Amino acid sequence: SSALTLVRGQILHFLSDPIQDDPSSYEYFADGALWIEQGKILKVGNWETITSTITPEKLSRATLYDYSGKLIMPGLVDTHCHYPQAKVIGSYGRQLLDWLNDYTFPTEAAFADPDVALRGAEYFVKRLLAHGTTTASVFATVHPTSVDAFMQTAEKYGLRMLCGKVMMDRHCPDNLRDTAQQSGIESQDLIDRWHGKGRLRYSITPRFAPTSTPEQLHIAGELYHSRPDLHVQSHLAENWDEIHWVRSLFPELFDYLNVYEYYGLTGERTIYGHCIHLSPREIQSMSEQGTAAAFCPTSNLFLGSGFFDYSKVAEANVRIGLATDVGGGTSFSLIRTLGEAYKVSQVHKQPLSALRGWYLATLGGAKALYLDSFIGNFTSGKEADFIVIDTSTIEELDYRLQGVESLSERLFALMIMGDERNIYATHIQGNKISFDA
């Protein structure tokens, strides 16, 4: 690996949300260059312009990656997924609460074994990279060693990742249950070990309101407020049975989000999976407090949970990221996930544009996770995690794109027909990484 890296190709990145496809919200260079020093972007622009500003001596020392004819974008950001659920994908015939009990909890129980956790983490991280995902917000299991396994693996690959131990002290099998006290001590210990180590950050992870006692939610909220830079991840308003259950468990609080608000678990650096069935008050409050939503279309469809109304929630200025929610979701691919997001947006007669879609999968996700000062686009100083997309590797997509000049049409066809076969290379901090076997 070299300290100086020069990359050539068709470069696309976003500067802001392309509402109405505003051309000032993104930059595209048909023959572009990225100049990277010590794993960080220093320059992005036209090949001729960028290379003319760098001394021949420096250029001669750089590692050159020539991806001419291929599309280069920031690494994709999966804002909600579960690494121990890789073997849960495609579990038949259940909706959320039965799916958890019949498939998910038994699978997660195996992660008590540190070897299972380490193998699972290695597998999951490699699959993310193969699918073009370079940053993710990841649920481990209730077992602290499952977080050690994931963090250790993410660190080995030099990744910017969020992860946390699931806190769960009721309404679950004995072998997956902690206690409020114990979950606080174990989470604190993991924070001390991993939070801020290299590119890693800790996310406090109460599974969802029904599986935590009020005492546990209180401890989670105290932990979140104990330092200025910790994150929170959980689930919200995914399924009607779940929502009614929360209502009966917390009758004194006025809605589902209010449970998390009451225990101090909302605001900046907090993100909630699904957020499908929100009241106007909940949407308004998320917007005001900066609480983010993870849009998980493949999971929401697979579990029959419902249709997240992206345009309605985005219009209220709620931060939204795209997410696979593996293993409720059906694919590791955020490209396939974008295709499903588009189909759901059609249900609401508010079609998600290609530009907005790719924004959502990159800078939008980084903003939803409050990591956009590090990743999400190619502005100077950002960490150089990027992917190289080759549209010719899918015959039908290649055919569809023949003679198509329009960038938005090309990006739209990729979002609808593309998948992991289009991921030609994944770079972390400038370096191309291998994730075979």
Residues found near ligand GUN in the complex (CB under 6 A): 82, 96, 100, 104, 207-208, 235, 238, 299, 325, 328
Q: Which is nearer to ligand GUN, 108 or 261 (CB)?
A: 108
Q: How far is the CB of 344 from ligand GUN (least distance, A)?
A: 16
Q: Which stretch binds Fe ion (CB under 5 A): 184-192, 194-202, 265-273, 419-427?
A: 265-273
Residue with tokens 């259950």: 245
Distance CA(411)–CA(88), nearest Å, equals: 31
Residue with tokens 């073009």: 132
Q: How far is the CB of 259 from Fe ion (least distance, A)?
A: 17
Residue at shortest CB range from ligand GUN: 328
CA 340 to chain centre: 16
Q: Which is nearer to ligand GUN, 178 or 238 (CB)?
A: 238
- How many degrees, rounded to 5, is the angle at CA 353 between CA 350 and CA 359? 120
Intra-chain end-to-end CA distance of the chain, in Å: 21
Select the binding partner of residue 207 from ligand GUN, Fe ion, none (C-beta < 5 to 8 A, by kind): ligand GUN
Q: Which is nearer to ligand GUN, 158 or 328 (CB)?
A: 328
Select the binding partner of residue 17 from Fe ion, ligand GUN, none (C-beta < 5 to 8 A, by kind): none
Label residues 243-277 b or e (16+ Cβ within 10 Å = b).
bebbeebbeebebbbbbbbbbbbbbebbbbbbbbb
Residue with tokens 């290649």: 398
Q: Which is nearer to ligand GUN, 238 or 282 (CB)?
A: 238
Q: How far is the CB of 87 from ligand GUN (least distance, A)?
A: 13
Q: Which stretch binds Fe ion (CB under 5 A): 3-11, 50-58, 272-280, 417-425?
A: 272-280
Q: How far is the CB of 235 from ligand GUN (least distance, A)?
A: 4
Q: Which is nearer to ligand GUN, 238 or 309 (CB)?
A: 238
Q: State whether residue 217 is helix, strand or coil.
A: helix
Q: How far is the CB of 190 from ligand GUN (least distance, A)?
A: 19
Select the binding partner of residue 32 from ligand GUN, Fe ion, none (C-beta < 5 to 8 A, by kind): none
Nearest C-alpha neighbor of 391 from the set 422, 415, 357, 417: 422
DSSP 8-state code for residue 374? T
Dihedral class, residue 370 (left if φ above 0, else alpha if ψ from -120 to 50, else beta) = left
Distance CA(312)–CA(310), nearest Å, equals: 6
Site for Fe ion in 313-342 (CB under 5 A): 325
Site string for Fe ion, 377-406 (x = CB under 5 A): ------------------------------
Q: Strands 231-236, 4-14: parallel, antiparallel or unpaired by DSSP?
A: unpaired
Q: Which residues pair with 236 in a beta bridge?
A: 274
Q: How far is the CB of 208 from Fe ion (least distance, A)?
A: 9
Select the binding partner of residue 108 from Fe ion, ligand GUN, none (C-beta < 5 to 8 A, by kind): none
Site string for Fe ion, 203-232 (x = CB under 5 A): ------------------------------
Burial environment of residue 188 by CB neighbours within 10 A (0 to 12, 13 to 18, 19 or more): middle
Q: How far is the CB of 35 from Fe ion (least distance, A)?
A: 38
Q: Which is nearer to Fe ion, 88 or 253 (CB)?
A: 88
Nearest C-alpha neighbor of 430 from the set 45, 70, 75: 75
The answer to whether 162 and 156 are in contact (CB under 8 A) is no
How many C-beta atoms lie closer than 10 Å to residue 436's C-beta?
Answer: 5
Q: How far is the CB of 234 from Fe ion (least distance, A)?
A: 9
Backbone angles phi, psi at 100, to 5 degrees: -60, -50
Q: How far is the CB of 64 from ligand GUN (least distance, A)?
A: 43
Contact residues for Fe ion, defined by CB under 5 A? 273, 325
